[in-house]
Amino acid sequence: MFGRCAQGSGYLVTAMSCAGAAAVRSLWRLRTGALRPLPAYGRRISVRFYSSRMTLDNINWAAVDRVIRVDHAGEYGANRIYAGQMAVLGRTSVGPVIQKMWDQEKDHLKKFNELMVAFRVRPTILMPFWNVVGFALGAGTALLGKEGAMACTVAVEESIAHHYNNQIRTLMEEDPEKYEELLQVIRKFRDEELEHHDIGLEHDAQLAPAYAILKSVIQAGCRVAIYLSERF
């Protein structure tokens, strides 16, 4: 049974579950600023997107769960890293530079918080761990000086950008039109992470003590964090 609801200049079509049917099919168009409860594969979905061009049909929930959970964890971790850096270097000359990057990370986290609610994705159980580890990493590298903090930024942002590129590839292979809005979010954030990476290099990251080793160790940690956050 299909339900059709008039809405502004557009319309919303949802596939309602048939009584006794094993599979529930859904088709919906996402409307600007709209928050709607929709039935989809037994999951109640409320979707809020800023454009109406994304159509979801037979969404790959496993992939979306994984993408949103790990990205939320990553942005949360990035926020904790910058919080740690600001605790040490907030009143120095690089304080405003770090604050600006942190402000963008706050926007990234806010968006993934919204997506988690919209898609009913649970956060990783490792959030308390990333809270402590992220802050310790930010503060610890900042104690090496601003070069240490920037080396941390270069290492982490390079890893996150690489991770986002992998996700873009995965979603493009799945269905670029279906995941268009999610792809837009990830592409935008990927570009901003690369800007942070470049800011780190511009602020003498490579002059940090044992830069190459520090970067390698942090990036190994990022790979572990991504692996765990996708799965747990």
Nearest-CB residue for Fe ion: 108
Q: Does 158 bind Fe ion (CB under 5 A)?
A: no
Pick the piece of the chain touching Fe ion (CB under 5 A) from 6-14, 62-70, 92-100, 186-194: 186-194
Q: What is the 3-state secondary structure (H, E, C) of 148-181?
A: HHHHHHHHHHHHHHHHHHHHHHHHHHHCCCCCHH
Pick the piece of the chain touching Fe ion (CB under 5 A) from 33-41, 149-157, 167-175, 214-222: 149-157
Number of residues lying near Fe ion (CB under 5 A) = 7
Q: Does 193 bind Fe ion (CB under 5 A)?
A: yes
From the list 108, 146, 163, 215, which residue makes contact with Fe ion (rule: CB under 5 A)? 108
Q: Does 196 bind Fe ion (CB under 5 A)?
A: yes
- Asked whether the beta carbons of 63 and 51 are under 8 A apart, the reply is no
- Asked whether the beta carbons of 195 and 164 are under 8 A apart, the reply is no
From the list 59, 77, 105, 119, which residue makes contact with Fe ion (rule: CB under 5 A)? 105
Residues pairing with 38 in the sheet = 45
Pick the piece of the chain touching Fe ion (CB under 5 A) from 43-51, 62-70, 119-127, 185-193: 185-193
Token pair for 220? 């190994």
- Asked whether the beta carbons of 30 and 54 are under 8 A apart, the reply is yes
* Residue 175 CB neighbour total at 10 angstroms: 15
Provide the binding-site residues for Fe ion, judged by CB under 5 A: 75, 78, 105, 108, 157, 193, 196
